[in-house]
Structure 1
Amino acid sequence: MKTRLSLLAAGLLLATGAQASVPGDKLAKGLDAGSYGSFVKTLSSDEFQGRLPATIGETKTLAFLQAQFMRLGLKPGFGDSYLQPVPLVAITSHPGQLTLGNLKLDYLKDMVINSPKAVAETTVKDADLVFVGYGIHAPELGWDDYQGLDVKGKVVVMLVNDPGYATGDKRFDGRAMTYYGRWDYKFDEAARQGAAGALIIHQTEPASYPWSVVENSWGGTRYDLADDNGPKSAFSGWITEDAAKRLFAQAGLDFAATTKAAGKAPMAKPLNAKASVDIKSDFKTTESHNVMGVLPGQTEETVVITAHWDHLGTDPSHKDDPVYNGAMDNATGTAGLISLAQSFEDLYKGAEKPRRSIAFLAVTAEEQGLLGSKYYVSNPSIPLGRTVADINMDSLNVYGPTKDMVVVGKGKTSLEKELSEALRKQGRTLVPNDRPEAGGYYRSDHFNFAKAGIPALFAGGGSQPWDADVAKYREMMKARLKGCYHNACDEYQADWDLRGALSDLQAFHDMIQMLITSRDWPSWQSGAEFSRPAATE
C-alpha cells in the first residue's frame, strides 16, 4: 500500500462501513467491510445462540440466510426451496466412570466418551484392552496395525495423527497428516474391525489442539446422520496423555518407548487389563438443513462455494458466558458466502449470464463430523458430474492483510493455478500451510467433495503481514484470541481488521470468475489421493 493505515484509522474505516482497500487491487462491488462485518456480527450474536443444529439457533440462522439469498435474487438450490433437510440423530451421552484395569477415569477430567448408537444404555464389561499403535489399516502403504489381530469385542487404544508425524515416514506424506491420522478415520476403522470401544490418546502437538477443545467439542450432545447404517463401536472417545501413561505403566510398558516404536512399525500390544463402562444416553431423531442459493449460468456446469453455518451452541454451566458464538469459526466464512453472492449478483445484474452457474452452499453439522456436506454429496441437487469444483471457506482472516495466502493441502489440485493468478493481481503469492501435520485438508467440508472426486480447494489467510502496522495488530489480536478456538471467547471483535478477509474474498471472486467463464475442467494433480469421476472427464 502507498500509505499505511494506523490501527485507529483501520478501526474507524470498519466502523463506518467504508470500503477497505486490499493489497494491489480494488474490491469488487458487494465486497465491503460494512456489510461483511455486519453479517459476521449478526451470525455470531448471542441471539443466534451458538448456531447448534436443530435448535432455535438454527431457526434464526436459516431465516437469515434465506432472507439474504432472496434479497440477492438467487435461485433456490433444492427445487423450489433454499433448504435441504438433513436427517440427524442427536445423542446425549451420560457416561459413568470408565474403568481401565485398576484405573478409574473421570468424565471430562481424564476422558470424554460417547455412545455413537441411538440406544438408551450401553454397557461394556471386562473387555480386553489392546494398544494398536496408530490404529491404521493401510495395506496399500504396507502398514496394518490390525494385521493378524482379532479385536472383536475388545477396546482398542491408539495414538492421534499418523506415523509420518512421529518419524517423517514418506508413506504417510512425512509430517503432513494424511486422512489416516484423523479421529473419524480411526473410530470408523476400529468399528470395521469389530472393536467394542475405541479410545484415542490425546496429545496436544500431534492433535494440534489442547484438551479443552476435546472437552468442548465432544462433551454434551453429539449428532450423526440418521440414515448412517455403517458399523459403530459401542463407545468411542478420548483419554488424556496422563491417563494413558498411567494405563501403560499399569501394563508394565514404558509409554515413551512404546509410542516411539509405534511410529516405526505397525504395532499391537495387549495392555493386560479389562475395560468397563456404563453409558446412559438420551436420543432423538431430528432434522437440520443445508442452505443453497444458485446464480444460474448458461449451462448446468456449476462451481460450488461452501461454508458451514453451524457451531457448538450453548453451555448453561458456564454462567458468565454460556454462548459459543463461533464468530471466526465460522460466521466469517458464512458471511463470506453471502458477500461473494452479493458481488456476483451485482456483476451480472442486467448482463449476459456466465457460462457456468455458481452455487452458494451453507452446510450444517460440520462441527459434528462434516455431516451436512457428507449428506449433500450423497444427495446432491447438482449432479456431481456437472460439479466443476468446490471452494471452501472456514474461519477467514481477521488478522489484517497479508502478502501471501495459505492453501491447505498445496499441490493437490489444478485450482491453484487460478488462485495464484488472482493473487498475482493483488501482489500476493500462494504458499503451503506451515502446519500440515494438523491435517487441515481433512477437517472441513471440502473433504467430502474431494472424496467424491470433485477437485476441492481450501485456502485463506497468510503468514506475512502486509506492513509493520499490520504486524503489530496481528501480534496483538493473536494474543487476544489465543485459546478461543471452540471456546466461548470466539466472539465478534469491533476492532477486527477485516481487510485480510476481504482481500481473500476478492481473490476467490477473481478465481471463481475465471472458472465460470472457462470450458476447462479442474483436475487433481499427480500424487493426490483423489481422482475425478470418469463421467466428467
Structure 2
Amino acid sequence: MLLKSLTVLGAAVFAATPASRVAEIEDPDTAAWWQATEALSGDAMEGRDTGSPGYDRAAGLLAAKFAAAGLKPAGENGTWFQPLRFSDETVDPVASRISVGAARLRMLHDVTVAPSPGMPGTVRAALAFRGYCAPGTLGDVRGKVVLCYGWRRAGLTSGATRAAAVEQAGAAGIVTIADPGFTVEPMRWPVAYARRVAPVDASAPAADRLLVTTLNPQALAGVLAGSGHDAAALLRAGSAGASLPSFDLDAPFVATVAMRRRMITSANVLGVLPGRDPLLRREHVVLSAHLDGYGRGEAVRGDGLYNGALDNAAYVALLQRLAERRKGVGYRRSVIFAAFTGEEKGLLGAHAFVARPTVPRGDLVANINLDQLRPIFPLELLTVHALDDTTLGDMVRATATAAGVAVQRDPEPERNLLRRADHWPFLAAGIPATGFVFGYRPGTEAERRYRLWYETRYHKPQDDAGQPMDWTAAAKFNAFFYALVERVADAPAAPAWKPASVLREPARR
C-alpha cells in the first residue's frame, strides 16, 4: 500500500512543478528532458536524500512516469520498487565538540567525522603528528590520536593503509589532513554532514574502534599553534610528497561526538521494456542512474538544500525521456530502467540490485550507467569507463564516432571514478558495464569550466536547475545515449569480456 501511495503522490507533485528554463531550449526533446530534470531536482523533492520523504516523492514521480511511458513494473512483488533497509548514523554537529588545546574546530567546516558503530563517543588524548603515517613509522602512539598527512596520489600511503597502521599501533583515533596537493579533485568544505548509511546486515567498517576524522588544511595552523611547527611549510612539503617530520603536541585532543541513530527504508525504482525478439528477450540490458542526492545539509552561501540537478536528477530524467520516446515499443532484448538509491552513500542500491536482481542474475548481460556527466561545455570528447575491457566499449566507440565524438580512457585514474559510480557493482560481478565523463583537453576552456564546477557546485547546493548549461552539448550526449542503447539492445550478440581485460580477473573472484 505504501509503495502504491508513493506513485500517486509522485504524479501529483509533478503536476504542480513549474518548468522555469524550458523556454530557453530550442530542441523539443532536450526541452522535455530538462522539464523532467527540473521536476526531480526542484525544492519539493528536498534533494532526494536516501530514506527521506523527498526521495520517496521523487521515486513515486518516476514510477508514475515510467508507467505512463509504457514500461512494466520490474520491482518486487509486481511493483515498481525494490525496498532496501539501512542503518543511518549521523553526527549531530551542534551537540558535538572537537578541540586541540585552545583551538575549537568547527564541525563540518574545520573537521568532519566518519561515524562507525564502534566509534568512541568521547576521546581525550595526546596528539602526535606522524607524517604520512606509513606502517612501521609511527613509534609508540598507544592511546594517542595520530595526525596524518592525507596523501591521495600514487607512491605513498593510502587512506586504508594509514587507518590500518594507526589502529594496529593501538592509537585512539586518527586525524587526516585533507590533501591540498590533490588539485584534480580537492575536498569540498563545508561538508554537507557527517553520516554513515549502510545495509542493516553490513559488517563493521575497518578501524571501527577508532575515532576517524578529517581536518580542513586551513585549520591546521590553529591545531599547531604553540608547537613551534609551521603549518604552511608542512602543507607545502606534504603536497609535494617531501619528507615530513614526526613530533608530539603538548595541547590535548578532546572530542565529544553526539550521534543520531535510526533505521531507514529507501527503494530502487525499476521498470522494464520487454524485448520483442523471442530468442533474445530473456537477456536484459540495465540502464541505470542514481536517484538519490544529498538532501539537506550544512548551508553554503546561505543555501542548505542540495538539489542535485546534474548529480544526478538530469540523468534519471534521461532514463525517463528514453522510456517516453519508446512508447512501449521494445528493442530485441529486454531493457531494465533502474533508478538506484544510496549511490551517494556507497553505491548501496546498485550493490543490492546486483546481489539480488529482480530477474535471474544470468539474464543481466550489460549495464550502461549515467552519472558524472556535466554538459557545461561543448561535447567533443568522452572519457569512457572500462573502454577496453569488454565489447561494450567497442559499441561505445562506434556510436561516439558516428556522433562526431572522440573517446578516451580515464586520464585521471587517481580519482578512482571507475569505482565511484553504479556501473562498478556490475563490473565487479562480471557483467559488462560502462559509464561516461565529459572529457576535455588539458589547458582548454572546457577544462577550466569542468574544474570550476567541481570546486563550486559538486555536492553543493549550487548544483541546481539554474546553473549554466550548454544545451547543444546536452542534446548531443542524449542523442548518443539513445543510439548506444539501440545498438546494444538490438545487437546479434550480447557484450562480452575481452581476454586482456585488467578488470576481468577481479570480476571472476
TM-score (norm 1): 0.74
Equivalent pair of 1:308/1:394 in contact (CA under 8 Å): yes
Equivalent pair of 2:108/2:298 in contact (CA under 8 Å): no
Aligned partner of 1:488 in structure 2 is 461
- Supply the AA of the counterpart residue of 2:215: I
Shift of 1:334: 1.1
Aligned partner of 2:319 in structure 1 is 337
Secondary structure of 1:117's counterpart equals: coil
Aligned partner of 1:82 in structure 2 is 80
Aligned partner of 2:272 in structure 1 is 294
Shift of 1:491: 1.5
Aligned partner of 2:347 in structure 1 is 370
Structure 1: distance between partners of 2:413 and 2:506:
24
For 1:521, which of 495, 498, 504 is the aligned residue?
Answer: 495
CA deviation profile, 1:333-363 (whole Å, cap 9, x unmatched): 11122123334x34x72x6x51x32211111
* 1:508 is the counterpart of 2:487: no
Secondary structure of 1:88's counterpart equals: strand
For 2:37, which of 40, 54, 75 is the aligned residue?
Answer: 40
Moved more, 423-432 or 145-154: 145-154
Moved more, 334-343 or 494-503: 494-503
Equivalent pair of 1:91/1:281 in contact (CA under 8 Å): yes
CA deviation profile, 1:82-128 (whole Å, cap 9, x unmatched): 11112122223136333457755332342112432288x71223276
- Supply the AA of the counterpart residue of 2:234: F
* 1:238 is the counterpart of 2:214: yes
Aligned partner of 1:215 in structure 2 is 190
Shift of 1:475: 7.8
After superposition, the Cα gap between the structure-2 partners of 1:113 and 1:379, relative to the gap in structure 1 and judged at 3 Å, is: same
Aligned partner of 2:17 in structure 1 is none
After superposition, the Cα gap between the structure-2 partners of 1:48 and 1:531, relative to the gap in structure 1 and judged at 3 Å, is: same
Structure 2: distance between partners of 1:439 and 1:256:
23
CA deviation profile, 1:307-356 (whole Å, cap 9, x unmatched): 1111121248679533221111111111122123334x34x72x6x51x3
After superposition, the Cα gap between the structure-2 partners of 1:251 and 1:116, relative to the gap in structure 1 and judged at 3 Å, is: farther
After superposition, the Cα gap between the structure-2 partners of 1:71 and 1:277, relative to the gap in structure 1 and judged at 3 Å, is: same
What root-mean-square deviation, in Å, do the aligned CA atoms of Structure 1 and Structure 2 show?
4.1
Aligned partner of 1:321 in structure 2 is 303
Shift of 1:17: 6.2
Structure 2: distance between partners of 1:500 and 1:326:
19
- Supply the AA of the counterpart residue of 1:360: F
For 2:27, which of 16, 19, 35 is the aligned residue?
Answer: 19
- Supply the AA of the counterpart residue of 1:215: P
Shift of 1:50: 1.2
Aligned partner of 2:403 in structure 1 is 426
Equivalent pair of 1:53/1:364 in contact (CA under 8 Å): yes
For 1:55, which of 46, 52, 57 is the aligned residue?
Answer: 52
Equivalent pair of 1:133/1:268 in contact (CA under 8 Å): no
After superposition, the Cα gap between the structure-2 partners of 1:509 and 1:279, relative to the gap in structure 1 and judged at 3 Å, is: same
Equivalent pair of 1:290/1:363 in contact (CA under 8 Å): yes
TM-score (norm 2): 0.78
Shift of 1:193: 8.7
Structure 2: distance between partners of 1:158 and 1:207:
19
Shift of 1:40: 0.8
- Supply the AA of the counterpart residue of 1:296: P
After superposition, the Cα gap between the structure-2 partners of 1:359 and 1:406, relative to the gap in structure 1 and judged at 3 Å, is: same
* 1:459 is the counterpart of 2:436: yes
Aligned partner of 1:97 in structure 2 is 97
Structure 2: distance between partners of 1:191 and 1:502:
50
Query: Superposed, which structure 2 residues align to 1:243-254 within 5 Å?
Result: 243-244=219-220, 250=227
Structure 1: distance between partners of 2:358 and 2:161:
27
Query: Superposed, which structure 2 residues align to 1:95-134 within 5 Å?
Result: 96-100=96-100, 104-117=104-117, 122-126=121-125, 129=128, 131=130, 133=132
- Supply the AA of the counterpart residue of 1:126: A
CA deviation profile, 1:386-414 (whole Å, cap 9, x unmatched): 32222211143432542222224654544
- Supply the AA of the counterpart residue of 1:65: L
Secondary structure of 2:257's counterpart equals: strand
Shift of 1:421: 0.2
For 2:177, which of 187, 201, 206 is the aligned residue?
Answer: 201
Unaligned runs of 5+ in 2: 1-19
Structure 2: distance between partners of 1:326 and 1:523:
34
Aligned partner of 1:26 in structure 2 is none
Percentage of pairs with the same residue: 24
Structure 1: distance between partners of 2:505 and 2:392:
14
After superposition, the Cα gap between the structure-2 partners of 1:527 and 1:520, relative to the gap in structure 1 and judged at 3 Å, is: closer
For 1:385, which of 358, 362, 367 is the aligned residue?
Answer: 362
Structure 1: distance between partners of 2:167 and 2:80:
36
| Number of residue pairs aligned between Structure 1 and Structure 2 | 475
Equivalent pair of 2:98/2:255 in contact (CA under 8 Å): yes
Secondary structure of 1:510's counterpart equals: helix
Structure 1: distance between partners of 2:351 and 2:167:
19
Aligned partner of 1:398 in structure 2 is 375
* 1:255 is the counterpart of 2:234: yes
CA deviation profile, 1:353-380 (whole Å, cap 9, x unmatched): 51x3221111112222322223333333
Shift of 1:59: 2.0
Secondary structure of 2:107's counterpart equals: coil
* Structure with more contact order per residue of length (Cα contacts < 8 Å, sep ≥ 6): 1
Aligned partner of 1:226 in structure 2 is 200
Equivalent pair of 2:440/2:447 in contact (CA under 8 Å): no
Equivalent pair of 2:115/2:194 in contact (CA under 8 Å): no
Secondary structure of 1:216's counterpart equals: coil
CA deviation profile, 1:107-159 (whole Å, cap 9, x unmatched): 2342112432288x712232764647277xxxxxxxxx369989886645444
Shift of 1:268: 11
